[in-house]
């Protein structure tokens, strides 16, 4: 068995894989890495997609010691049919790169939206060329920014009324439109007609604003699975 670990800024997600087992993803708050230890004890080795602090990476290495400390992946310039011209290629968030690797399997023009702590919007051509991407604050971060810089309350992106006729709905829908509007503008500018796939904790929240978009959960873990295959 091998362990795929997707360590994001808010949540850590992991799956024990191997044999004919299907993808079952567990998750915990990034402050509660200990939750990973049982899976680490069961695995022969671990591959890790980590974004965030070096201190968190060190904590992960310690926890993953029972299965070799973890192979921490780095974005590559040309691997798995994905051409990554980011400057420099290794500075592309490894979660974004693994998303490109996973999406590449579809052989079509795609916009990949990852809606987590941050929101990333990336374009990849049907031939596997990464055509650039943008980074926005995530939906929670947008609300925190508003609450920190005004006397507005802290709204969490759960429920909102349409049309927005109260403060919380106005703030909540505002963030959702900022994110989904950015997706549509980016697609129009860079890869018109591309299909949209959404991943990450807020995928369900953004989907209603992106007609035709499809949710593909756990894209970084799927990218790791793809890399193990080839």
Ligand X SMILES: CC(C)(COP(=O)(O)O)[C@@H](O)C(=O)NCCC(=O)O
- How far is residue 13's CA from residue 43's CA, in Å, rounded to a whole number? 15
Nearer to ligand ADP, 17 or 157 (CB): 157
Considering the rule CB under 6 A, would residue 120 count as an interface residue with ligand X?
Answer: yes
Q: What is the DSSP letter of 169?
A: H
- How many secondary structure helices (H) and strands (E) does the chain include? 7, 12
Compose the 168-207 pattern: x for residues touching ligand ADP by CB under 6 A, - for all others: --------------------------------xxx-----
Q: Which residues are within 8 A (CB) of 22 and not within 5 positions of it... i.e. 6 or more apart?
A: none
Position with the least CB separation from ligand X: 93
Q: How far is the CB of 112 from ligand ADP (least distance, A)?
A: 13
- How far is residue 128's CA from residue 79's CA, in Å, rounded to a whole number? 10
Q: Is 146 helix (H, G, I), strand (E, B) or coil?
A: helix
Q: Is 79 marked as binding a ligand?
A: no
Any catalytic annotation for residue 45?
no
The sheet with strand 26-29 has its strands ordered as 26-29, 11-17, 2-7, 45-50, 71-72
Q: How far is the CB of 73 from ligand X (least distance, A)?
A: 12
Select from ligand X, ligand ADP, none the partner in contact with residue 223, using the beta carbon and a kind-dependent cut-off of 5 to 8 Å: none
50, 12 contact by CB (below 8 A):
no
Bridge partners (DSSP) of residue 198 are 113, 215
Catalytic residue selected from 29, 44, 95, 166: 95
Considering the rule CB under 6 A, would residue 70 count as an interface residue with ligand X?
Answer: no
Enumerate binding residues for ligand ADP (CB under 6 A): 8-11, 116-117, 138, 140, 200-202
User: Which residues are part of a known binding site for substrate?
Assistant: 86, 93-96, 167
Enumerate binding residues for ligand X (CB under 6 A): 8-9, 51, 91-93, 95-96, 114, 116-118, 120, 135, 138
Give the residue numbers annotated as catalytic, written as ranges. Answer: 95
């Amino acid at each position: 068995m091998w362990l795929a670990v997707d360590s994001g800024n808010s949540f850590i997600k992991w799956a024990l894989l191997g044999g004919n087992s299907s993808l079952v993803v567990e998750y915990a708050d990034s402050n509660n890495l200990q939750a990973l230890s049982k899976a680490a004890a069961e695995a022969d080795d671990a591959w890790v997609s980590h974004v965030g602090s070096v201190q968190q990476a060190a904590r992960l290495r310690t926890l993953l010691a029972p299965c070799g400390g973890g192979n921490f992946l780095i974005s590559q310039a040309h691997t798995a049919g994905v051409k990554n011209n980011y400057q420099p290629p290794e500075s592309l968030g490894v979660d974004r790169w693994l998303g490109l690797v996973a999406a590449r399997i579809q052989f079509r023009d795609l916009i990949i939206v990852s809606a987590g702590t941050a929101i990333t919007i990336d374009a990849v051509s049907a031939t596997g060329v990464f055509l650039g991407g943008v980074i926005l604050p995530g939906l929670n971060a947008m609300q925190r920014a508003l609450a920190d810089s005004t006397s507005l309350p802290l709204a969490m992106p759960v429920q909102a009324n349409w049309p927005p006729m109260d403060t919380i709905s106005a703030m909540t829908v505002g963030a959702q439109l900022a994110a989904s509007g950015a997706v549509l503008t980016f697609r129009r500018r860079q890869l018109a007609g591309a299909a949209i796939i959404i991943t990450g904790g807020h995928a369900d929240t953004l989907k209603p604003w992106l007609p035709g978009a499809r949710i593909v959960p756990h894209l970084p873990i799927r990218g790791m699975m793809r890399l193990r295959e080839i």
